[in-house]
Amino acid sequence: MIRREEPRIGVYICHCGINISYKVDVEEVVDFASKLEHVVVARDYKFMCSNIGQELIINDIKEYGLNRVVVASCSPRMHEKTFRNACKKAGLNPYLFQMASIRELVSWVTEDEREATEKAKDYVEAAVRRVAKHQPLEPRIVDINPNVLVIGGGIAGMQAALEIAEGGKTVYLVEREPSIGGHMAKFDKTFPTLDCAACILTPKMVSVGQHENIKLFTYSEVEEVSGYIGNFDVKIKKKPRYVLEDKCTGCSECIKGCPVTLPNEFEYGMMDRTAIYRSFPQAVPNVFVIDKEGFSPCRNACPAGLNAHGYVKLVSVGKYEEAFKLIMERVIFPASLGRACPAFCEEECTRCLAGGHVQIRALKRFVADWYYENVGVKLPVELPDVQKDKRVAVVGAGPAGLACAYYLAIQGYPVTVYEALEKPGGMLRYAIPEYRLPNQLVDKEIELIKQAGVEIVCNTPVGEGGKSIDELFGEGYKAVFLAIGAHRDRTMGIPGEDLRGIYTSIGFLRRVNRGEKVELGDKVFVVGGGNSAVDAARVALRLGSKEVTILYRRSRVEMPAFPEEVEAAEEEGVKLQILTNPVAFHGEDGKLSEVECVRMELGEPDESGRRRPIPIEGSNFKVPADSVILAIGQAPESSVFKQEGLEINRDGTLWVDPETLATNREGVFAGGDATKGPSTIVEAIGLGRRAAEYIRRYVEGEDLRAKPYEEHWLETVDKEEVLRRRRYTVSPPTSLVKRPSHERIKDFKEVEATLSEEAALAEAKRCLDCAGCCECRQCELLCEAQAIDHHMKEEIVEVKVGSIIVATGFKTFDPTPLIQYGYKRYPEVYTSIEFERINNAAGPTEGQIRMKDGRVPERVAIIHCVGSRDENTNRYCSRVCCMYSMKFAHLVREKTGAEVFEFYIDIRAPGKMYEEFYNRLQEEGTHFIRGKVAEVTDVAMSPEEEGRLIVVAEDTLAGKVRRIPVDMVILSVGLQAADGAEEVAHLVGISQDQDGWFIELHPKLAPVSTASDGVFIAGCCQGPKDIPDTVSQASGAAAEALSLIMRGQVEVEAATSYIDPEVCVGCQQCKRICMYSAIDYDPARGVCVVNEAICKGCGLCAATCPNKAVTTKHFNNVEIFSELEGILL
């Protein structure tokens, strides 16, 4: 209810000492104000904000019955609250008050007094006109949730957390590193007391870790903050440690097994660490963490999902048996794959960008050969004691079928494999030639499968002409897996195809692999461009044919055969005739004598994306030939299943559901070349293993699609990122030893040799550890507490807090761009934070000050102001560098007795005992040279400068340019806002200044609060400072938070929005644009309603409403118009 009473306005003009009155004619303004409409009393006073000033207002309200008050003084940011309170004390609603700023906006910024006075009068009139339209508002009271969120676990965050926790309130402390401690944990000694940093820090860390009121979230980040003061909803993202915090005892046995080496960020790259690590020995929580950034590109490139990274790393540390076991978890036939796999992994290897891929396939071959040699044909897993009673039948003993069988068998399922041919192995035995994959090896690998309990029955086809699927179910099998491969050769359908001497590749290779004699004659032509064509050609050579030519209808680049195979064939003497295709075969007495071919040219691409071959009219020619082998493609013999009710695709492959590999017939699954068409061994094995899982789900009655196939899968890491962060030298892959071509065509012995152990170790060490952790799981084996869980997932925890303290700290300036100092160019130039680690007993040199070659330095230079006090980098002074530089001088002297030279511009020693520390350093004999260093160079200009670093600076006090030769240079770099500060600022709603530090509410009087109520800042995130000041600010912020909590309730700005239901038409424009979702639509009444608890009062809805149904209280249109009129009219 709005009472339209007659406004009675009191106007008060403040002198603000002389700050206003020196420019503004205050009396004139008072006089002016007194003549304005509705103004009952107008006064001036020197200090309106003082008690007396406020009393003036209070008395006038009572005496003159004022119902509106205007004060023209400083900025409302200073004293709006003060005057509103004065009104409240006098019984007047605080919103019936308006402030005009005539100091910050007038007296302080205007030169001319006349103009200043006129401006002040305008503002006063505006305020008077506006306040007449103000309505009383009741401020919202909100409860303060007593919990506090502290972001950042350095000394500031820990101190604040402890203070609040001791006060009995709950603190959620979120730290993004695996341990709390911040930068202070990296130091050796602190200035000026030379206290050991760890000694004073670790008790605090332990308190934080053990305090019952502090809920510690390490290796976590704040993901989202919503709400308002007293009622913040916070989402905390817990990054997966892969180590269970409540089980890990910190024993560090796991490190011994980890084969991965990564640069240690805590040591600034001066040391390496393993993938499983702990930042430093006194970490809190004292729990390890696994650095797993995703999956390596090799792993995700493998169609069977084999963890290539894992087994390569195991080889690099000599754990070959473990490598074999790891391989067998995902694929079978490792020795075969090690010889015949196209190695999709190698194409994606990050090393391709750094010298050439790691020889992943050759390493697999090495592991398999070693295992069979040294361990024997022994199952790498233990079979379960009890077999299951659900039997599965597999049709086809090729890689797909045997993979499915193996993976079911090792889980205890009895599996029988039916094979139509006389021996198992499929393409491995009958198609891939001996010189690539010896059948003896195939036998060995199949032996391993049999040891898992798989029964293989040969000479038993299934389908037309053999057992039917119905029969199989009849025999008690619960499921059937069809893996018949693609063994049916295509034919060309040209004249003369039935002449003697014309073979098809699969048929031909099968006969050779059986040991049959095939008379090819000397002139052999192989038609086709795939692997079987090349295999056939190279076999023909070895059988004695003198001239073997491959005819291919497209060009070389379109040949689907592996390039290495084509190269090897050519080395051996196979000729390649591209853009040629046979059109007819001519013979005598039913025997082939000539091949008639036509030349081709390439036209537009066809459905496969390759350019269509078009015969050139009239280019026919005939060549004499003894034999022709057609290798133009294969397809599955799916016609045998025509009667079984299975859906067959147009190209002859069996249809299956791409995820579950189930056919359209209940209980029947299929995979391998039978469903994909001719592809690769590894793909077949991958599908076989996949089918095993889905068949298992099926026979156990589980929902096939309840879970995805891969329960643990991560994104591939970014290769550029990897190259940026790893240290490596560009190196070529180890070459694989191949027999010379003229020799190898004489027999069918293997062409390629296995790597020697030495070569394998060296090659495996080339791996860059792209993803960090390789999931070899050796750590799991060593962990007695069973605290490792590689499948851990990220977790989001939601908490409610009433206030937030931001203590995100700093990072040091990176002096790499300042090339004159030689950082990263000369090995003995260090940054201060690197030098801290050198001094720290847990660091790279165990606390000794040593150069990289182990020598003790005799002369050390410390350069102040690197990156600070500089227009070109950071303008500000970082406050702590002079003091820590002097600390270093002391430590160097104490530990090595070296001469120390400090190059400074000014010595800043403003704290307690700081100047005395400077005196002490002078007494210790430190050479202080006043002059900013111009450059550090290794170009010697005299004998004593040889082999040393020379620091060049003008000694300004002596007026001479000095060249000082030293052994070691320390750059005292400045401090900068921490990485990610911008994101944190956006999250909690605070701002950064031009240097990236968070902005405090008032630089003098409110250094730990911010413009956002309920959000406080502490420590270096507000600006560079030393430890005592940081701790003070942390306690201060804690006090502010506790004060808020003690109040229990707080008034929130009442200026929210309101929708007049009479005017609102329910267009919902306001609802669409509200950024806080504070507006709801009420379908019953057809209007929108504002949720006052959430509304922040920004006013966007009011400006958006086409009907002007929305008013923002205290900033409604009438008020603003009145103010405008006051200014302009």
Partner 1 sequence: MGSNALNTSAIWGLKELLAIPGGDQIIKCIQCGTCTGSCPMAPVMDYGPRRLFALVKGGDFDEVFSSNTYWICASCYFCTVRCPRGIKITDIMYALKRMAQARGPQEKAAYMYNAFKEAVEGKGRLSELKMMQKYYKKVPMDAFKNTSLGLKLLAKGRLEFKVEPLKSLEGFRRVIEKAKQIEGQS
Partner 2 sequence: MKVEEERMKNERETEGVFEPKIVGFLCYWCSYTAADLAGVSRMKYPPNLRVMRVMCSSRVDPVFIIKALLDGADGVLVAGCHPGDCHYQKGNYYARRKIALTKRLLESLGLEPERVRLSWIAASEGPRFAEVAKEFTERIRQLGPNPAKGALFL
The burial of 848, by beta-carbon neighbours within 10 Å (0-12 exposed, 13-18 middle, 19 or more buried), is given as: middle
Q: How far apart are CA 212 and CA 930, in angstroms?
A: 52
The burial of 193, by beta-carbon neighbours within 10 Å (0-12 exposed, 13-18 middle, 19 or more buried), is given as: exposed
Asked if 260 and 274 touch (Cβ cutoff 8 Å), the reply is yes
Q: How far apart are CA 394 and CA 479, in angstroms?
A: 9
Residues of span 1065-1084 touching partner 2 by CB under 8 A: 1073, 1075-1076
Asked if 152 and 180 touch (Cβ cutoff 8 Å), the reply is no
Neighbours of 200 (CB within 10 A): 14
Per CB under 8 A, the segment of 55-63, 110-118, 579-587, 948-956 that binds partner 1 is 948-956
For residue 323, list its beta bridge partners.
Answer: none
Regarding 1022 and contact with partner 2 (CB under 8 A), the answer is: no
In 985-1115, at which residue ranges do the beta strands (DSSP E only) sit?
Answer: 1015-1017, 1049-1052, 1057-1059, 1079-1082, 1087-1090, 1110-1112
Among 27, 55, 63, 112, binds partner 2 (CB under 8 A): 112
Among 870, 938, 945, 1053, binds partner 1 (CB under 8 A): 870
Q: How far apart are CA 980 and CA 217, in angstroms?
A: 18
For residue 11, list its beta bridge partners.
Answer: 42, 70
Q: Quick one: what does residue 68 bind among partner 1, partner 2, none, with the CB cut-off 5 to 8 Å set by partner type?
A: none
State the binding string over 32-61 for partner 2 (x if CB under 8 A, else -). Answer: x--xx-------------------------
Among 27, 55, 63, 115, binds partner 2 (CB under 8 A): 115
Q: Which amino acid is at 876?
A: Y
Q: Give min distance, CB of 976 to partner 2, in A.
A: 17
Neighbours of 232 (CB within 10 A): 22
Asked if 934 and 820 touch (Cβ cutoff 8 Å), the reply is yes
Structure tokens at 634: 């294969």
Among 623, 934, 1100, 1127, binds partner 1 (CB under 8 A): 934
Among 1011, 1039, 1089, 1094, binds partner 2 (CB under 8 A): 1011
Regarding 648 and contact with partner 1 (CB under 8 A), the answer is: no
* CA quadruple 459, 463, 469, 475: dihedral sign: negative
Regarding 139 and contact with partner 2 (CB under 8 A), the answer is: no
Count residues binding partner 2 (CB under 8 A).
55
Q: How far apart are CA 372 and CA 363, in angstroms?
A: 14
Q: Give min distance, CB of 122 to partner 2, in A.
A: 6
Regarding 3 and contact with partner 2 (CB under 8 A), the answer is: no
Alpha helices (H) in 1052-1116, listed in sequence order:
1069-1073, 1100-1104
Among 639, 786, 919, 956, binds partner 1 (CB under 8 A): 956
Asked if 205 and 158 touch (Cβ cutoff 8 Å), the reply is yes
Q: How far apart are CA 573 and CA 300, in angstroms?
A: 37
Regarding 905 and contact with partner 1 (CB under 8 A), the answer is: yes
Regarding 959 and contact with partner 1 (CB under 8 A), the answer is: yes
State the binding string over 1040-1059 for partner 2 (x if CB under 8 A, else -). Answer: ---------------x----
User: Strands 68-73, 97-101: parallel, antiparallel or unpaired by DSSP?
Assistant: parallel
Regarding 708 and contact with partner 1 (CB under 8 A), the answer is: no
Q: Quick one: what does residue 614 bind among partner 2, partner 1, none, with the CB cut-off 5 to 8 Å set by partner type?
A: none
For residue 1051, list its beta bridge partners.
Answer: 141
Q: How far apart are CA 201 and CA 306, in angstroms?
A: 45
Q: Give min distance, CB of 121 to partner 2, in A.
A: 8
Q: How far apart are the first and last CA of the chain?
A: 31
Structure tokens at 609: 């994306």
Q: Quick one: what does residue 934 bind among partner 2, partner 1, none, with the CB cut-off 5 to 8 Å set by partner type?
A: partner 1
Count residues binding partner 1 (CB under 8 A).
21
Regarding 38 and contact with partner 1 (CB under 8 A), the answer is: no
Per CB under 8 A, the segment of 102-110, 570-578, 703-711, 889-897 that binds partner 2 is 102-110
Residue 967's alpha-carbon distances to 188, 828, 932, 947, 1123, in angstroms, are 22, 7, 19, 9, 71
Q: How far apart are CA 78 and CA 1001, in angstroms?
A: 11
DSSP H or E stretch at residue 272: strand 272-273
Residues of span 52-81 touching partner 1 by CB under 8 A: none
Q: Quick one: what does residue 356 bind among partner 1, partner 2, none, with the CB cut-off 5 to 8 Å set by partner type?
A: none
Q: How far apart are CA 79 and CA 14, in angstroms?
A: 12
Among 28, 223, 935, 1092, binds partner 1 (CB under 8 A): 935
DSSP secondary structure string for all residues of 140-202: EEEEPPS-EEEE--SHHHHHHHHHHHHTT--EEEEESSSSS-TGGGG-SEETTTTEEHHHHHH
Per CB under 8 A, the segment of 173-181, 215-223, 862-870, 1023-1031 that binds partner 1 is 862-870
Q: Which amino acid is at 744?
A: R
Rank residues 593 and 937 by Cβ distance to partner 1 and give the closer one: 937
Rank residues 78 and 194 by Cβ distance to partner 2 and give the closer one: 78
Q: Quick one: what does residue 657 bind among partner 1, partner 2, none, with the CB cut-off 5 to 8 Å set by partner type?
A: none
Q: How far apart are CA 1078 and CA 1072, in angstroms?
A: 10
Regarding 1096 and contact with partner 2 (CB under 8 A), the answer is: yes
Rank residues 703 and 871 by Cβ distance to partner 1 and give the closer one: 871
DSSP H or E stretch at residue 555: none
Rank residues 936 and 990 by Cβ distance to partner 1 and give the closer one: 936
Regarding 869 and contact with partner 1 (CB under 8 A), the answer is: yes
Regarding 872 and contact with partner 1 (CB under 8 A), the answer is: yes
Among 77, 81, 556, 855, binds partner 2 (CB under 8 A): 77
Regarding 939 and contact with partner 1 (CB under 8 A), the answer is: no
Q: Quick one: what does residue 820 bind among partner 2, partner 1, none, with the CB cut-off 5 to 8 Å set by partner type?
A: partner 1
Listed residue (956, 957, 992, 955) closest to 977, CA to CA: 992
Rank residues 110 and 873 by Cβ distance to partner 2 and give the closer one: 110
Regarding 119 and contact with partner 2 (CB under 8 A), the answer is: yes
Q: Quick one: what does residue 986 bind among partner 1, partner 2, none, with the CB cut-off 5 to 8 Å set by partner type?
A: partner 2
Q: How far apart are CA 150 and CA 208, in angstroms?
A: 12
Q: Give min distance, CB of 990 to partner 2, in A.
A: 10
Q: Quick one: what does residue 955 bind among partner 1, partner 2, none, with the CB cut-off 5 to 8 Å set by partner type?
A: partner 1
Asked if 121 and 128 touch (Cβ cutoff 8 Å), the reply is no
Q: Quick one: what does residue 560 bind among partner 2, partner 1, none, with the CB cut-off 5 to 8 Å set by partner type?
A: none
Among 6, 617, 871, 923, binds partner 1 (CB under 8 A): 871
Regarding 780 and contact with partner 1 (CB under 8 A), the answer is: no
Regarding 961 and contact with partner 1 (CB under 8 A), the answer is: yes
Q: Which residues of 269-293 are buried (b: 16+ CB within 10 A; e: fewer)?
A: ebeebbbbbbbbebbbbbbbbbbbb
Rank residues 604 and 871 by Cβ distance to partner 1 and give the closer one: 871
Rank residues 183 and 869 by Cβ distance to partner 1 and give the closer one: 869
Among 101, 261, 734, 808, binds partner 2 (CB under 8 A): 101
Among 155, 314, 933, 990, binds partner 1 (CB under 8 A): 933
**Residues within the interface to partner 1 (CB under 8 A):** 820, 865, 869-872, 905-906, 930-935, 952-956, 959, 961
**Residues within the interface to partner 2 (CB under 8 A):** 32, 35-36, 75-77, 101, 103-106, 108-112, 115-116, 118-119, 122-123, 125-126, 986, 989, 991, 993-994, 999, 1011-1012, 1055, 1073, 1075-1076, 1096-1100, 1102-1104, 1112, 1115, 1117, 1120-1121, 1123-1125, 1127-1129
